Structure 1
């Protein structure tokens, strides 16, 4: 029995065996140079000095494939300018796919001395001339049969999709003129500009331009869901005063047409405000409809109207079956929240920083590297990686030529969100039930996105490596990485691989009334989803409430606060008109208890089960992110639990104890996971932020909660910490390294491992100080990440006359040339005063205490770089009976209490958004108030003091 060759193979064989056709004469409409009828496009292309673009030269090597495409178009009656434009785009596509392999062969020919020419450019052109012709191309592709398949599929599918678009346009033209072009014929079609990701045989969205300049958007997928979304917007407009514009569309079976929405500026500032109010209302609607993937390319700012132009992911499943779902209630809440829409700031980190790709954001540099060419057009041409460029964003409003920053319009966004949310909640019965509006969407086709599109595109890019194009096994080895990523997705991997082999970004669709998923070829995959999208949306709308609205509005504010901007570890803004009062312990405890109650109200979970919070977290010291709280002491649930347990110990209220116990439940599983992944454990580190802080927190909590069982958790944490190796290239800072580890280990009693670790860390810190003295170690200034933190911990560890205390004194002087940043603990003068006092080095404490007593209270009250971090030094000095320290502490306590009473507990987060964490959030402010109220009973968490009370230390008093 014989089998016919695949379509791509027949295409390649036909292409390489036919004589070349005559190239099209003249120039293309854009005026770019033509070689063999095809142009390269692109900018800043290297040339051989005669104007020949390197892409054009490589395109000539692939000309037989393009000749076949031209013949297929002509056979369908399609010739002329549009055909040539298509062939130009196809040629560039083929060059991109084949470039890495062609350049490899170029380098081999160069190294063998086979290329003729006196210059690198001439030798490059000689290489391309050697491959021109059908037989030459056939010989080349015989060595790379997978490349032959990739190129053949691209040509065959490209022609098929192009002719399909033209046929659909001809069939629908009359309806388009009537429905989307205001009854006026636009004239002949002059250009087709495809965009977006290829699906279902290379088909993608395209913008069509006509002779009169007007445009239409072609969508090669169903638009019924978008049509129903427009109906929901119409409903919302009738119930509120937001008046949101929708994109007009024409639906057809399996495809559709959309009006082209023009990016236009706002007429005035009031228009900017209306824009963001409408965007807030859209956010509420997308939230209740479980919309996602509303990134910056899917929204156009048309004056004061945010217009969604791509609505295909409503009713989107938030998770796969239970085996893949998170056990963290805060993580589940985030996945089901307004955050999932991607309309709010969504930061994508990479080697070149972060980019906001959200519908509100956009317009930033891509953080990831992309493949590019150095020495392009020369025989030394080679691959490099450079920062990528994001597409030009049209999603943000403009006024007077300037793009508007969404962060500055938080109130407008919240106003629109609340208006829409409350309207939907009031009239929820119109959505629900067998006759509700949701049922009209039950059988609509929606896109299901199981993985990031960037992952798929990365695989497609890497699969153009020559090793993946020589044989199928090489490419399969790369693409089969999908099997390793997530076991819960194994049911769809075969269809993912089929799409990737075809050169497509994998596409899956679903229906709101089904748990099944459909592959791009129509294959039905049963029971992939845990529940239907329709059931999830019905449940969400039924449960809309004041509590949920409050949580979503917090998420909006917190997300807007994460928009990229320079991070400052100093607070300078002050409260000039705060009254001063004597703060008695009862008042301070009451204020702290109010904060504890707010944290209790924010918890996500059930009594007796897992509990966690959503918070703002500073990642890598460079940008903020909204995340479920991790385990850390500094801004994780361990820190929040420690504060709640301390409140419980002072008030006797059981609810704080119970929540503290629930919050730390995940720690044993976390320690077990880290023990099996020491690379990740090393990344966590031994400092205040990492295992040192967790160990300290467990030690304190075992006493506060009266739970001896936590001692076994602590032992496991110390055992894991002992397995971490010291990296001599990393600075052993207080928050991340050995300095914080030493402070934590000194606080832990009764476990020999803590003593061993303390000695190891102390020796390492001495070595670091010696290297710093020789100028071999660079560090940031301050307590948290500089030598001051080392000075503090060695000053506490050492005794007069030993090398540890000597090293502490040296460390305290190593960054004296750097001025403190503000008044706080982390990098300000409070941390410096603590370090120098603990090390016993001369310091002008009189001036410091006088300034600390007299200055206005900081607006930021946080422990890290705010007022309560600054006060910590006063409490430490007062406990050691330094003159005037206690008076200064009492005055600061009154100012802090007055600031809390007048302005609330202002966090050290961007825009002071309330967050539960310890260093920059509410837990730390509450804990600081407890310290001010009962300094003898509440140990310093910043200094990792033991439960028994503040360490008095053995360092001598510094010279005043």
Structure 2
């Protein structure tokens, strides 16, 4: 049995002992079997891990040798018994006074009674010297230790319980009594406890390590409080000199078991003890500077500071008195968002902000002056755009955001961890939780988990007052800070340079939850049975794509002893500081100080406007057309261009549109790729990096540039076209049977490129994508949708085009197969083309089902819709109806009110604006040029005049953030204007060629 103790040895320890015994060669089969086991590590990750943690493959191979192959087990066991942690374990057991056994109530703490008695006597002896604790305080401390020991042991205890049951029936009248019986039998004596821990030797080691951390840190804290008591009493107006209770739930365990603790004195006053690197004095002075210069209204928390720790005022969630204070609260909250943006503050989630009356209070200042973590995402414009996105308010934690989406089944569900969240939330995945606690049916199951609310929401009359209805105050607060900062750049830059050099801050380089998850995985009984199994679990940390993976060594070292890894950074330097003080040199490319100084120096009206729009989107109050509705001079110039003058104006306008698009482009010269950050519409408006979708993604911008090159014959656009192609070819996209989303969204733009610029490569790629979709996507009736944008109608049309170009009938055959299975009922019950019945009418004509098309048109005219159409757009209204029916017979458009349909709109976009109307007029002018050529020129002239006066098209967005997308943004407007110059440019609303 004692031989099993050898399983506590780490890989490095096993290698050392085996080499000492003369064994130099490892078992190749054993190494191969290890490598073949499930792991997220790639071969490069494993090679790096072996080199930097174990020095060589030979060492690693020896280190994973099973204990049955150890030549000298006695030597290994003696080595273990000579370790300080094992000596401490024996001293705990040997010092136990079993005379207390009769007084003990057998409960869940019974297996740990030896540890708890040792800790109790230690604390009593310590307090006899310090005289700082009440009896209740010591009980609190022991309860804290008990909870940690139970947490460490719970999974192992469950397994051991059920293993024990198989060998010996449990006695007792109910499940709880049978569990007590198990505890008494399994942990009856010192010998029994040794036997248990020998079965799980890594559990023995980490239990002793955590016990030592607890005792050392508690002693250190109590000595510090005793020495600092006069300062504490004076600063926080505390009358008592005795500690009455402690709560250690405020934070994670870092740096050898250190944790934040709330201490309550006998007079009821509370303080918070934080054993952390202290930069608080510099930050307090900085906050006072910001309050004076920017009117930041930051609540200054009272503190007593020392070099490596500090105490601070306990901040509670106290009530607000009236609505005016609610408004002040949320305006101050907005100011915090501005401060966080300016000084690169992150991690201000719902647990790090407390609503303290009319003040939102940051209770953890350690994440000011943060960096973008150097992750190996690859080298592309899309990656560069991601880093630019990270340099915004969206990563502060203060604005609503969804976390943990990657863990949900849909990859879209998440939990809002922002400090504006005010309600309980269900985590979008099941969590392993204990069931039937402390019974003989105790087990772990994946269960739904509800996240509790915190203290981050203001309270009035005992009710939470959420930010909803107070959004404008948040926006006002943020804008006021940013505007004042723009006007006070010199003072801010001077203050930072003069006062904050070499400030030490914490860096959160990996989400804390990821560390916690990894710890939980490593607490599995298999890991506690054999230490190298626990190492194998933690080896998965090396799969994280840091550019500098040396940092993982320090993460591993903290996790192996049960700590959440913690790192720091001197903001004037590029190195990272590990919990043990070691440096990871050149972890960052530039210092956090320079990054912040550059941001402040570059701050301008455009930045403020963009961040304001992003905030409005995050708060769900964004009005995409507010800016254009506020514009003056709309349609004030009635001059109508014709002929060459009109053509020249169109060219000028499209070149201006191109400059706007180009200005916002993010190029990567090494990979010749490009991308943009833009406002996009999914279920709601959001800010994101463009992907492959025809509606408002990269393919739409591509098709605009293709048309612009065709019209101007200017090869300066070749590079942009090449970069967009490189991006759309390499961005991960779903294999969706769609012409609007996923890989299928590339087919039509590539066919247009082939049609206009004779690019045979574009045709080949379009064919390759279509072939892949046909091969991978079986036609399932239940998934088919009769809709142009969100359904399958558009891909049917695109495959028909491909069949005509390639003269390959398989595309027509496949499209017909889909078409035959479509329901005649539209997915959206509108009269339009983008959404509604008319894209189906269009397909009927393409398959020469003219009689059926006419029959359906008659049905629509007579009874399909209860009301007359009120919408005159392409997507949901009469412009779409016009485009679908005009190609059939002239009389089919007789029921459309043409004048209402072609009326000038207050929006310019293709989907529901003037550009869509322009396509209708282009088609009408073909039928009746005498009537509609003038009206077409009039519409274009009004659009161009407004554009010239306002320097913006009437699309979603703001002054500096016009939507770029094809159907709702400026690229689509530009394309349609170019189409008016040359009919060879295809009708993109109907996916014509």
Give the TM-score band, short-chain normalised: 0.7 to 0.9
What is the CA-CA distance between 1:907 and the residue it aligns to?
Answer: 4.9
Aligned residues of 2:304 and 2:310 also touching (Cα < 8 A)? yes
CA distance in 2 between partners of 1:246 and 1:112 (Å): 62
| Residue of structure 2 in register with 1:699 after alignment | 751
| Residue of structure 2 in register with 1:613 after alignment | 676
CA distance in 2 between partners of 1:442 and 1:633 (Å): 48
Q: Note closer, same or farther for the CA distance 1:119–1:212 as it changes in structure 2 (3 Å cut).
A: closer
CA displacement, residues 632-654 of structure 1 (integer Å, 9 cap, x when unaligned)? 33322232232344456557787
CA displacement, residues 116-151 of structure 1 (integer Å, 9 cap, x when unaligned)? 445555545544454453444443333333333333
Q: Is 1:68–2:68 an aligned residue pair?
A: no
| Residue of structure 1 in register with 2:416 after alignment | 356
| Residue of structure 2 in register with 1:403 after alignment | 466
> Which residue, out of 235, 253, 263, partners 1:198?
253
| SS state at 2:370 partner | coil
CA displacement, residues 546-595 of structure 1 (integer Å, 9 cap, x when unaligned)? 3xx41353134224413479999xxxx999x9989898784888776665
Q: Which structure 1 segments of 5+ residues have no match? A: 26-34, 37-55, 432-436, 675-679, 947-960
> Which residue, out of 576, 598, 610, partners 1:517?
576
| SS state at 2:590 partner | coil
CA distance in 2 between partners of 1:869 and 1:713 (Å): 29
Q: Note closer, same or farther for the CA distance 1:819–1:275 as it changes in structure 2 (3 Å cut).
A: farther
Q: Within 5 Å, give how 1:791-870 maps onto structure 2.
A: 791=840, 794-795=843-844, 797-800=846-849, 823=871, 828=876, 833=881, 849-850=896-897, 853=900, 863=910, 866-867=912-913
| Residue of structure 2 in register with 1:425 after alignment | 489
| Residue of structure 1 in register with 2:965 after alignment | 917
| Residue of structure 2 in register with 1:30 after alignment | none
| SS state at 2:446 partner | strand
Q: Which structure 2 segments of 5+ residues have no match? A: 1-74, 128-132
Q: Within 5 Å, give how 1:49-198 maps onto structure 2.
A: 57-77=107-127, 80-108=135-163, 114-117=169-172, 119-120=174-175, 123-134=178-189, 135-179=191-235, 181=236, 183-185=237-239, 188-194=242-248, 195-198=250-253
Q: Within 5 Å, give how 1:665-744 maps onto structure 2.
A: 665-670=726-731, 681-682=734-735, 686-702=738-754, 710-711=762-763, 714=766, 717-718=769-770, 721=773, 724-726=776-778, 728=780, 731-733=783-785, 735=789, 739-744=793-798
> Which residue, out of 924, 933, 944, partners 2:991?
944
What is the CA-CA distance between 1:491 and the residue it aligns to?
Answer: 0.8
Aligned residues of 1:209 and 1:216 also touching (Cα < 8 A)? yes
Aligned residues of 2:134 and 2:242 also touching (Cα < 8 A)? no
CA displacement, residues 130-175 of structure 1 (integer Å, 9 cap, x when unaligned)? 4453444443333333333333333332232223222222222222
| Residue of structure 2 in register with 1:604 after alignment | 666
Aligned residues of 2:747 and 2:770 also touching (Cα < 8 A)? yes
Aligned residues of 2:457 and 2:466 also touching (Cα < 8 A)? yes
| Residue of structure 1 in register with 2:618 after alignment | 562
| SS state at 1:641 partner | helix
| SS state at 2:222 partner | helix
Q: Is 1:244–2:298 an aligned residue pair?
A: yes
TM-score where L is the length of structure 2: 0.75
| Residue of structure 1 in register with 2:266 after alignment | 211
CA distance in 2 between partners of 1:448 and 1:260 (Å): 24
CA distance in 2 between partners of 1:387 and 1:726 (Å): 34
Aligned residues of 2:573 and 2:592 also touching (Cα < 8 A)? yes
| SS state at 1:301 partner | strand
Aligned residues of 1:295 and 1:358 also touching (Cα < 8 A)? yes
| SS state at 1:297 partner | coil
> Which residue, out of 697, 701, 704, partners 1:640?
701
Give the number of equivalent residue pairs.
Answer: 882
Bigger radius of gyration: 2
| SS state at 1:480 partner | helix
Q: Note closer, same or farther for the CA distance 1:855–1:875 as it changes in structure 2 (3 Å cut).
A: closer
Q: Is 1:415–2:470 an aligned residue pair?
A: no
| SS state at 1:207 partner | strand
TM-score where L is the length of structure 1: 0.77
| Residue of structure 2 in register with 1:949 after alignment | none
Q: Is 1:315–2:364 an aligned residue pair?
A: no
Q: Note closer, same or farther for the CA distance 1:806–1:888 as it changes in structure 2 (3 Å cut).
A: same
More helix by share: 2
Aligned residues of 1:862 and 1:906 also touching (Cα < 8 A)? yes
Q: What is the aligned-residue RMSD (CA, Å)?
A: 5.1
What is the CA-CA distance between 1:365 and the residue it aligns to?
Answer: 1.8
CA distance in 2 between partners of 1:821 and 1:139 (Å): 82
Aligned residues of 2:610 and 2:960 also touching (Cα < 8 A)? no
